[in-house]
Amino acid sequence: MTGWTVALVAILYLIAQYVRVKTIGRRNRLDQKVDRPFIYALSLASGGSSWLFYGGLGYAAENGIEFAGLFIGIALAFTLGFPFFHRVIKLAQSQGIASIADLIGARYGKSFSVTAFVTIIVTVGGVPYLALQLTAVHYLFEVFAGTFTPHSADRAHEPHWLLWGLLCVIALFVIHNSEKSPQTMDRDESIVRTLASDSALKMIAFIAVGIAATTFLFGTPGELLSHLAGSNTAI
């Protein structure tokens, strides 16, 4: 595909996502019965794709078994730490809290300065994760446009105009979604449902790629393991 074709597909995908969020938001106002645990779990999984492939694998290659600690910590937080999260959710619902900055600020009399300071810290802390997601988008754009080379991940990339457009779309969406009252939770429900559907689609795609890699590229899973055992190249 050409670069313009990839850009058009990306734009259509973003438009479809926006329409889906709006459609789900209108539907939620008519029917509030939601299978929340399953949908919420899927929405959390949607954020693991780019981070796992572009960050997690590299961390595992450099640090070995320490890689498992990341997922063990998350699993413990959402199992043993469930009572804590339950109390936080109840507090957020009763106080109209929509972010970690609001939560901490509420502990100090809803101080604006504390909320602003926490917002700055969270924003700075989230920059590496956003950069990783944009890096994934950049690499995928090069793959579909036919300009990706085997060693392109090791060299410095010039920012592509598509990334600047994506940043603008993200900023506009956040501003539009944050201008409403924190007590209005329909927008949050619609975003969570949209993320859940994306997560399901990604899981299907990952399984398909895994089957293709173990079946068509190497013949059988045993041949794949033999190839990895005899290779000194980190994958």
What integer pLDDT is reported at residue 234 of this predicted model? 45
Distance CA(42)–CA(195), nearest Å, equals 7
Q: How many CB atoms lie within 10 A of CB 224?
A: 15
Angle among Cα 173, 20, 187 to the nearest 5 degrees reads 55
Tell me the two tokens of residue 96: 């109209």
The mean per-residue pLDDT over the stretch 212-216 comes to 75
Report CA-CA distances (Å) from 106 to 83, 109, 124, 198, 212. 20, 5, 21, 33, 51
**Contact yes or no for 200/42 (Cβ under 8 A):** yes
Residue 31: burial class (beta carbons within 10 Å; 0-12, 13-18, 19+): exposed
pLDDT at residue 65 greater than cutoff 60 = yes
pLDDT digits (tens, 9 = 90+) for 218-227: 666 677 677 7
25/29 Cα distance (integer angstroms):
7
pLDDT value at residue 120: 93
Angstrom distance (rounded) from CA 18 to CA 182: 20
pTM above 0.85, yes or no: no
Strands (E) in 23-139, as ranges, are none
CA distance 87 to 99: 15
Q: What is the dihedral of CA 130, 187, 196, 84, to 10 degrees?
A: 80
Give me the amino acid identity at 181. S
What's the pLDDT score for residue 212?
Answer: 79
> CA 206, CA 156: separation in Å to the nearest integer?
28
C-alpha angle 130-86-35 in degrees, rounded to nearest 5: 80
Tens-digit pLDDT profile for residues 135-168: 777 777 777 777 666 555 555 455 566 677 777 8
- The 10s digit of each residue's pLDDT in 92-135 is 878 777 788 888 888 888 888 888 899 899 889 888 877 777 77
At 3, the pLDDT band (50, 70, 90 cuts) reads low
Place of tokens 């619609």: 190
